[in-house]
Structure 1
Amino acid sequence: MTTSGTSGLLRKLEDVARASFLELFFDVVFVFALRALAQQLFNNLTWSGAFQALVLLVAIAWVWTLTARVTGQLNPRRPPVQLLVLATMVGALVLSAAVPEAFGKTGLVFAVTYLAIQIGRDLFLVVLLRGQEVQHVAARSAIWHAATAVPWLAGAVASGTTRTALWTLAVALIHVAWWFSYPLPGLRRLGGGDLPVGGEYLADRYRAMFVIGLGEVILALGSSLTDRGFAADRTVAFMMTFAVTALIWRIYIFRAGEDIGPAIQASANPDRLGTLAGYAHLVMIASLVTASVGAELVIDDPLGHPRATATVTILGGTALFLAGRTLLQYLVFSSVSRSRVIGLLALACLLPPMLLLPPLINGFAAGAVLTGIVIADNIRVRRHPAPISPPGPHRPSNT
């Protein structure tokens, strides 16, 4: 059932292929968010610090993901929709500002702001979309986000490992709920048709988020060179790190990054494939945040004494990117190229000797692995270009 007062708020699925200017404006906030995450990781470059940064990244990415899915269904030219997005932007800015001390004195600010964004958006949609099917999805989302308020707020008033554990529980709980379509006792399970977002639109939004991640690396490069000066070794480190960033872009976009939209559309379960593609991109965004920190470490002291933290950050960030990109390739083609697996093995084999060498050499080693993958990709596609074939059953072709 629909009502005439709310039907104009929704966009037709087939009409949504690209993000609107409003959505691109919204994305700008997350440049600041990733910068804050990178700084938080840089200042606490330990295993526990990395895990804490991951928890914060998952929470922030979830704000972006749900907002992107909502704007994929709503007409961005309507004032209520614009108000919702702008309010979310303000909340996301506050959320990002709280990141550096989220596991310290600003923990309560982070938790309350996160919950206000998620629950506030859902309640706004419940009121705005009376009579629409999407209203029921928003209501379920609000209930589940309210349930996660317990570990979020309990963690905010706790400290140390207790906060980390409770917040990990909170982000895990909402993702499990989403995976099972926000189940509630006595109510039918939602299907993919209840959460409709076009494949091309999702692909466009995921690519935008990846570009934001690349932008964070570029920002770190420029800022580091500005702060440390144009010494010869730092200039070489700058050029090398930029080349590695360009290789990451090339590997991402080469086929799978471009073809994820058609793959989602071809799948018999596009919402599930779109969700998995989102997780693949989350892994790659995490790798770009790590690469940003690695860039700062390399430019800061290119030929300095070997540091295990620098080596693990540089090679580990590269491996993390390849892992996410490998998952994306599987989702698009139902196969994984050998060059990705060989690249991951090469990085693992390089780790022990690189622990004895300065950061600049670590960066060149990561770049060499990525260069080999780019060359292998070009050779493979000329000989045997893989057809788009997502895992599982496919939709019948219209041709």
Structure 2
Amino acid sequence: MATGRGAGLLRPPASSGRATFLELFFDLAFVVALTRVTQRFVDLSDDTGWALVAGLGRTLLLFLALWLIWSHTVWITSRYEPERSIIQAVVVGTMFAGLVMAVTLPRALEERALPFAAAYLVVMVVRPLVVAAALRGHPRRLVPFRLAAWAAASAPLWLAGALGPDALRLPLWAAALAVDYLAWALGWPVPRLGASAVHRWRIAGTHLADRHQQMFLVSLGETILVISMVFGGTDYSPVRAAAFGVAFATSALLWRIYFHRAGLLLPEALGRAGMPGRLGTVSERAHLLIVLGVLVTAVGYELVIDHPFGPPRPGLLLFVVGGPVLFLVARTLLEYEIFGRVSESRVIGLAALLLFTPALARWAPMVGLSVVAGVLALVALLDALLSRGRPLEPSASSVAREESASGDRDSEA
């Protein structure tokens, strides 16, 4: 393959799979963003019916826009050498744009729509052009050109939503975001150049896994921040202290369940894959749901600590039970992709949560959170019992087997 003068920008095979300090610094902007997303979810706790559905849709849209920015950045630093000055400048610039999006997020669908959309578009349109210019004559420069072309195509929808009537903002932005995610799924096809599917990209698989694990820990840190601030900001009482303790135990159990076996082996699975981009794509989708599940769970913490034995509210279960259910579903998906199987403990946990939900709708919030913690403890206990005395099994990813058998390669990968 022709190299051109931009070949030095590519990640060498011997490059470290660990995230750089700049990338960890970059995540700080998304700590702020995730806090804003959680607060928007909390503000919906008193809504019911269509108001609740619409509010969830608005918050989910903003979260997905943030996730796209973060995830694209992770793929860039897994694909190109993050120690190069141009990539560091790209990461710092993206961090600033992400911080602008985080600051404007609480009112992003109201009077702060324009700065939110402008920051998003600068990253989506300008950033790939900078990378393409840095690649110079290298064939890979065509990939960021594709990204910029598709982002420019959806830009009018983002700008029309920001500048137009408030009533049209949500549908226009939803359509724009759908275009951006569809382009990613299709590989940003353009006339004559065709597509460049992400799963065929040559990346540092261990680095991508490391970044996904770090984002999970960032979201878990958000739960610790929530319970600390809520408990510290309310009048002390024994029942609130008990709710604080149960919430912390729940977060610790989420950590344990995530890293048991499959979560721990993710870097190895991506490192051993012949084409890690394929498994990395699946991992990215699973972690999107995992992070969202953790954030929704954090909302449940705040609501329960505020009023541990308040009146039953069926809508509250959307956060108290819905978050852990989403987490377990996504964690099951990740396990299947790593090992080609599903643990009985995950199935039992999901079945138990769904079975208890109707009854929990009639009980105080503290009861619901305690039952969720008990079910997660059962999952963690079953994990420990089923794996006791057994060596850590190697990855048996079905995706890795498919890519090894097909031997797919992309001339621009």
TM-score, normalised on structure 2?
0.90
Contact 1:330 1:336 in 2 (8 A): yes
Aligned pairs (5 A) from 1:140-289: 140-158=146-164, 162-190=168-196, 195-289=201-295
Q: For the residues of structure 2 that align with 1:77 and 1:263, how far apart are their CA atoms?
A: 25
Q: Which residue of 2 aligns with 1:25?
A: 25
After TM superposition, give the deviation of residue 158 of structure 1 in Å.
Answer: 4.5
Question: For residue 205 of structure 1, what is the amino acid of its counterpart?
Answer: R
Confirm or deny that 1:106 pairs with 2:107: no
Q: For the residues of structure 1 that align with 2:93 and 2:266, how far apart are their CA atoms?
A: 30
TM-score, normalised on structure 1?
0.94
Runs of at least 5 residues in structure 2 that lack an aligned partner in the other structure: 46-51, 406-413
After TM superposition, give the deviation of residue 259 of structure 1 in Å.
Answer: 1.1
Contact 1:125 1:138 in 2 (8 A): yes
| Structure 1 counterpart SS, 2:9 | coil
Residue identity (%): 36
Question: For residue 38 of structure 2, what is the amino acid of its counterpart?
Answer: A
| Structure 2 counterpart SS, 1:288 | helix
Question: For residue 157 of structure 2, what is the amino acid of its counterpart?
Answer: P
Q: For the residues of structure 2 that align with 1:355 and 1:308, how far apart are their CA atoms?
A: 5
Please give the per-residue CA displacement for 1:187-239, whole angstroms capped at 9, x wherever unaligned: 24325686221221111000010011011111101110111132111111101
Q: Which residue of 1 aligns with 2:326?
A: 320
After TM superposition, give the deviation of residue 64 of structure 1 in Å.
Answer: 0.7
Contact 1:11 1:74 in 2 (8 A): yes
Q: Which residue of 1 aligns with 2:89?
A: 83
Contact 2:202 2:275 in 1 (8 A): no
Q: For the residues of structure 1 that align with 2:33 and 2:358, how far apart are their CA atoms?
A: 33
How many residue pairs were aligned?
396
Runs of at least 5 residues in structure 1 that lack an aligned partner in the other structure: none
Confirm or deny that 1:7 pairs with 2:7: yes
Q: For the residues of structure 2 that align with 1:150 and 1:363, how far apart are their CA atoms?
A: 44
Q: Which residue of 2 aligns with 1:59?
A: 65
After TM superposition, give the deviation of residue 27 of structure 1 in Å.
Answer: 0.9
Contact 2:293 2:326 in 1 (8 A): yes
Q: Which residue of 1 aligns with 2:338?
A: 332
Q: For the residues of structure 2 that align with 1:34 and 1:223, how far apart are their CA atoms?
A: 15
| Structure 2 counterpart SS, 1:8 | helix
CA-atom RMSD in angstroms: 2.0
Q: For the residues of structure 1 that align with 2:200 and 2:354, how far apart are their CA atoms?
A: 43
- What is the aligned counterpart of 1:388 among 390, 395, 399? 395
Please give the per-residue CA displacement for 1:78-135, whole angstroms capped at 9, x wherever unaligned: 3322222111111110011111112212122211210111111111112111112331
Q: For the residues of structure 1 that align with 2:120 and 2:13, how far apart are their CA atoms?
A: 29
Please give the per-residue CA displacement for 1:10-55, whole angstroms capped at 9, x wherever unaligned: 3214413110111111111110010011111111342221222111
Contact 1:267 1:394 in 2 (8 A): no
Contact 2:125 2:148 in 1 (8 A): yes
Q: Which residue of 2 aligns with 1:49?
A: 55
